Amino acid sequence: MLGACIMERPLIAVLNGPNLNMLGLRQPEVYGHATLDDVEQVCVQAAERLDVAIDFRQTNGEGELVSWIQECRGRARGIIINPAAYSHTSVALLDALLAVDLPVIEVHISNIHRREAFRHHSYVSRAAIGVICGLGVRGYALALQAMTDMILDEDDQ
Ligand code: DQA
Protein backbone atom coordinates (compact mmCIF):
# COMPACT_ATOMS: atom_id res chain seq x y z
CA MET A 1 0.00 0.00 0.00
CA LEU A 2 1.34 3.42 -0.95
CA GLY A 3 2.56 5.42 1.99
CA ALA A 4 2.55 2.45 4.34
CA CYS A 5 5.79 1.81 6.14
CA ILE A 6 6.17 -1.88 6.84
CA MET A 7 9.05 -2.37 9.23
CA GLU A 8 10.49 -5.87 9.22
CA ARG A 9 11.26 -7.26 12.64
CA PRO A 10 15.02 -7.68 13.17
CA LEU A 11 16.11 -11.33 13.09
CA ILE A 12 18.19 -12.74 15.95
CA ALA A 13 19.68 -16.23 15.59
CA VAL A 14 19.59 -18.37 18.74
CA LEU A 15 22.03 -21.24 18.20
CA ASN A 16 22.57 -24.20 20.51
CA GLY A 17 25.38 -26.71 20.50
CA PRO A 18 25.89 -30.35 21.40
CA ASN A 19 23.86 -32.25 23.98
CA LEU A 20 21.46 -29.37 24.57
CA ASN A 21 18.81 -31.57 22.90
CA MET A 22 19.16 -33.68 26.07
CA LEU A 23 18.06 -30.86 28.39
CA GLY A 24 15.51 -32.06 30.91
CA LEU A 25 17.06 -35.53 30.97
CA ARG A 26 20.67 -34.49 31.24
CA GLN A 27 22.17 -33.79 34.72
CA PRO A 28 19.06 -31.97 36.03
CA GLU A 29 21.01 -31.03 39.18
CA VAL A 30 23.22 -28.88 36.90
CA TYR A 31 20.91 -27.83 34.06
CA GLY A 32 17.46 -28.00 35.68
CA HIS A 33 14.34 -29.70 34.34
CA ALA A 34 13.52 -27.49 31.35
CA THR A 35 13.73 -29.21 27.96
CA LEU A 36 15.06 -27.65 24.76
CA ASP A 37 11.42 -27.12 23.70
CA ASP A 38 10.90 -25.16 26.93
CA VAL A 39 13.98 -23.06 26.12
CA GLU A 40 12.54 -22.37 22.67
CA GLN A 41 9.24 -21.30 24.27
CA VAL A 42 11.09 -18.92 26.61
CA CYS A 43 12.77 -17.41 23.53
CA VAL A 44 9.57 -17.24 21.45
CA GLN A 45 7.75 -15.45 24.28
CA ALA A 46 10.63 -13.02 24.84
CA ALA A 47 10.84 -12.34 21.10
CA GLU A 48 7.09 -11.58 20.91
CA ARG A 49 7.38 -9.21 23.84
CA LEU A 50 10.42 -7.50 22.29
CA ASP A 51 8.98 -7.47 18.75
CA VAL A 52 11.91 -9.29 17.16
CA ALA A 53 12.04 -12.45 15.04
CA ILE A 54 14.15 -15.42 16.09
CA ASP A 55 15.64 -18.42 14.33
CA PHE A 56 16.08 -21.03 17.07
CA ARG A 57 18.26 -24.07 16.27
CA GLN A 58 20.24 -26.87 17.90
CA THR A 59 22.85 -29.22 16.47
CA ASN A 60 25.36 -31.70 17.81
CA GLY A 61 27.73 -30.96 14.92
CA GLU A 62 30.56 -28.44 15.12
CA GLY A 63 30.69 -28.02 11.33
CA GLU A 64 26.95 -27.46 11.16
CA LEU A 65 27.20 -24.74 13.82
CA VAL A 66 29.99 -23.09 11.80
CA SER A 67 27.79 -23.17 8.67
CA TRP A 68 24.80 -21.73 10.54
CA ILE A 69 26.97 -18.90 11.90
CA GLN A 70 28.20 -18.13 8.38
CA GLU A 71 24.59 -18.08 7.12
CA CYS A 72 23.79 -15.32 9.62
CA ARG A 73 25.97 -12.82 7.76
CA GLY A 74 23.70 -10.33 5.99
CA ARG A 75 20.62 -12.17 7.29
CA ALA A 76 20.52 -11.77 11.07
CA ARG A 77 21.20 -8.70 13.22
CA GLY A 78 22.82 -10.65 16.02
CA ILE A 79 23.69 -14.10 17.32
CA ILE A 80 22.89 -15.57 20.72
CA ILE A 81 24.81 -18.78 21.12
CA ASN A 82 25.11 -21.51 23.70
CA PRO A 83 28.04 -23.37 22.15
CA ALA A 84 27.90 -25.98 24.98
CA ALA A 85 31.09 -28.09 25.10
CA TYR A 86 32.46 -26.50 21.90
CA SER A 87 32.91 -23.28 23.91
CA HIS A 88 35.88 -24.91 25.57
CA THR A 89 37.43 -26.54 22.50
CA SER A 90 36.54 -24.83 19.24
CA VAL A 91 38.77 -22.30 17.49
CA ALA A 92 36.60 -22.96 14.41
CA LEU A 93 33.53 -21.53 16.15
CA LEU A 94 35.53 -18.52 17.36
CA ASP A 95 36.79 -17.86 13.81
CA ALA A 96 33.28 -18.19 12.35
CA LEU A 97 31.87 -15.73 14.90
CA LEU A 98 34.68 -13.25 14.24
CA ALA A 99 34.17 -13.57 10.48
CA VAL A 100 30.44 -12.95 10.54
CA ASP A 101 30.79 -9.42 11.87
CA LEU A 102 27.66 -9.39 14.04
CA PRO A 103 27.07 -8.77 17.75
CA VAL A 104 27.33 -12.04 19.68
CA ILE A 105 26.07 -12.91 23.17
CA GLU A 106 27.24 -16.19 24.69
CA VAL A 107 24.85 -17.98 27.03
CA HIS A 108 25.42 -20.88 29.41
CA ILE A 109 22.66 -22.32 31.54
CA SER A 110 25.09 -23.34 34.30
CA ASN A 111 27.74 -21.18 35.92
CA ILE A 112 30.78 -22.57 34.09
CA HIS A 113 33.09 -20.82 36.59
CA ARG A 114 31.74 -22.87 39.49
CA ARG A 115 32.40 -26.10 37.62
CA GLU A 116 35.46 -28.08 36.46
CA ALA A 117 38.54 -26.03 35.53
CA PHE A 118 38.32 -27.08 31.85
CA ARG A 119 34.98 -25.23 31.61
CA HIS A 120 36.40 -21.94 32.87
CA HIS A 121 37.86 -21.00 29.51
CA SER A 122 35.69 -20.32 26.48
CA TYR A 123 37.21 -19.61 23.05
CA VAL A 124 33.85 -18.16 22.00
CA SER A 125 33.99 -15.42 24.66
CA ARG A 126 36.65 -13.60 22.62
CA ALA A 127 34.01 -12.98 19.97
CA ALA A 128 31.20 -12.12 22.40
CA ILE A 129 30.09 -8.67 23.50
CA GLY A 130 28.82 -10.28 26.68
CA VAL A 131 28.44 -13.61 28.42
CA ILE A 132 25.50 -14.73 30.57
CA CYS A 133 26.05 -17.83 32.64
CA GLY A 134 24.53 -19.49 35.66
CA LEU A 135 21.06 -17.96 35.42
CA GLY A 136 19.39 -21.03 33.97
CA VAL A 137 17.19 -20.82 30.89
CA ARG A 138 16.18 -17.26 31.77
CA GLY A 139 19.66 -16.34 30.51
CA TYR A 140 18.29 -16.72 26.98
CA ALA A 141 15.50 -14.19 27.61
CA LEU A 142 18.00 -11.78 29.16
CA ALA A 143 20.28 -12.19 26.15
CA LEU A 144 17.38 -11.45 23.78
CA GLN A 145 16.53 -8.32 25.79
CA ALA A 146 20.16 -7.11 25.66
CA MET A 147 20.53 -7.91 21.95
CA THR A 148 17.29 -6.06 21.11
CA ASP A 149 18.48 -3.02 23.10
CA MET A 150 21.75 -3.02 21.16
CA ILE A 151 19.96 -3.29 17.80
CA LEU A 152 17.63 -0.40 18.73
CA ASP A 153 20.62 1.69 19.84
CA GLU A 154 22.36 0.98 16.52
CA ASP A 155 19.21 1.90 14.56
CA ASP A 156 18.95 5.20 16.50
CA GLN A 157 22.43 6.28 15.42
C1 DQA B 1 26.79 -25.38 28.97
C2 DQA B 1 28.08 -25.50 29.78
C3 DQA B 1 29.13 -26.32 29.05
O4 DQA B 1 30.32 -26.43 29.83
C5 DQA B 1 28.61 -27.71 28.77
O6 DQA B 1 29.54 -28.45 28.02
C7 DQA B 1 27.27 -27.71 28.14
C8 DQA B 1 26.26 -26.74 28.56
C9 DQA B 1 25.68 -24.66 29.74
O10 DQA B 1 24.72 -24.23 29.11
O11 DQA B 1 25.75 -24.55 30.97
O12 DQA B 1 26.95 -28.60 27.34
O13 DQA B 1 27.07 -24.62 27.81
pLDDT tens across 74-89, in order? 999 999 999 999 999 9
Sign of the dihedral through C-alpha 81, 90, 154, 76: negative
95 appears as a binding residue in the annotation: yes
CATH code assigned to 11-156: 3.40.50.9100
| DSSP summary character for residue 19 | T
Region 111-120: what's the mean pLDDT? 97
In the predicted model, what is the mean pLDDT of residues 107-112?
98
- Residues with a known catalytic role: 31, 108
Pocket test of ligand 1: the residue of 16, 86, 112 to mutate, having most ligand atoms within 8 Å of its CB, is 112
Q: Domain residues of the chain, as ranges? A: 11-156
Q: How many CB atoms lie within 10 A of CB 122?
A: 22
- How deeply is 4 buried, as exposed, middle or buried, from its count of CB atoms within 10 A (0-12, 13-18, 19+)? exposed
Does residue 156 have a known ligand-binding role?
no
Asked whether the beta carbons of 44 and 54 are under 8 A apart, the reply is yes
3-class DSSP assignment, residue 8: coil
pLDDT at 2: 47
pLDDT of residue 137: 97
